[in-house]
Amino acid sequence: MQIHQIRSATIIVTYNNKRFLIDPWLMPKDYMPGFDVGLNSNVRQPRVELPISIEKIVDVDAVILTHYHPDHWDEFAAKAINKNIPFFVQSDIDKELIENLGFKDVRVINANGTDFEGIKLYKTNCQHGKRETVKPLCLKAGLPYDSMGIVFKSENEKTLYVAGDTIWCEEVKEALDKYNPDVIVTNSCGATVINGERLIMNLDDMKEISSYSKNSTIIASHMDTVSHLTVTRDDIKNLKLNNVLVPDDNEILAF
């Protein structure tokens, strides 16, 4: 297994000799404004350029989109990715959105497991910020609230849990208890909306998951790129959590 940190939440997972591109956000630096509903709305994003070419990034066997948000998917990805590639999404709603862009092989990941090339993919639930306060804000802004995590299982590999856009919550605990992953990828920049609610994990969340999953290796992703971040790579490194890794853009971790 390899985890290639590209930029923000965009990673390439090599698992059972198959390459999965997750949440391809491929636009150039400063291409879009900050989110009106987020902190630092005056800061343009992405804050940094892609570390490698788009052509190299999209040279994969499959794509997974955890949710249809504009910092996880964009027109540059839609244009660059082969329209015949297997493309995995969280719901029939997202399936229709991706098919409307011309993709021919769009599949919904099932909570009971979806098979692909000797790999079992499982959808896990998220809280993309506290549901009772963030969901109404998302809907008001015209953005979907729901996101998913994904568990990868194979006889030949360690179990991987890509938690997705979520805070530390019961849904994450349930996934950890059920699948006991060896490797966990968390989105951890503490992205925060104007009402003060975090949308994804912050420093306190990272302490919680590190303590709860002492025997897992945790990889902090979704760092140093979006306008509404409140946590940096250095902030997480300064926690000195023994089981947490904080890769730089274009760094590859092998397990």
Report the pLDDT value the prediction gives residue 140, as an integer from 0 to 100: 80
Please count the CA atoms within 13 angstroms of the CA of 139 that sit on its side-chain side: 7
Residue pointed to by tokens 């590190």 = 210
| DSSP label of 90 | S
CA nearest neighbour of 153 among 119, 181, 130 = 119
Domain count of the fold of the chain: 1
Print pLDDT tens along the chain (255 aa): 999 999 999 999 999 999 999 999 999 999 999 998 899 999 999 999 999 999 999 999 999 999 999 999 999 999 999 999 999 999 999 999 999 999 999 999 999 999 999 999 999 999 999 999 888 888 887 888 899 999 999 999 999 999 999 999 999 999 999 999 999 999 999 999 988 999 999 999 999 999 999 999 999 999 999 999 999 999 999 999 999 999 999 999 999
The parent domain of residue 204 ranges over 2-254
Report the pLDDT value the prediction gives residue 148, as an integer from 0 to 100: 98
Report the pLDDT value the prediction gives residue 243, as an integer from 0 to 100: 98
Distance CA 160, CA 111 (A): 15
CB atoms within 10 A of CB 237: 13
CA nearest neighbour of 128 among 23, 232, 235 = 23
- The answer to whether the beta carbons of residues 88 and 121 sit under 8 Å apart is yes
Report the pLDDT value the prediction gives residue 123, as an integer from 0 to 100: 98
Distance of CA 66 to the CA centre of its chain: 6
Helix/strand/coil percentages in the chain, nearest 5: 20, 25, 50
- The answer to whether the beta carbons of residues 62 and 18 sit under 8 Å apart is yes
Report the pLDDT value the prediction gives residue 139, as an integer from 0 to 100: 82
Residue pointed to by tokens 């890794």 = 245
- The answer to whether the beta carbons of residues 167 and 205 sit under 8 Å apart is yes
Given phi > 0 = left and psi -120 to 50 = alpha, else beta, which region is 8? Answer: left
Q: What is the CATH number of the domain that holds 29?
A: 3.60.15.10
170 CB-near residues (< 8 Å, 6+ apart): none
CA nearest neighbour of 248 among 238, 71, 229, 237 = 237
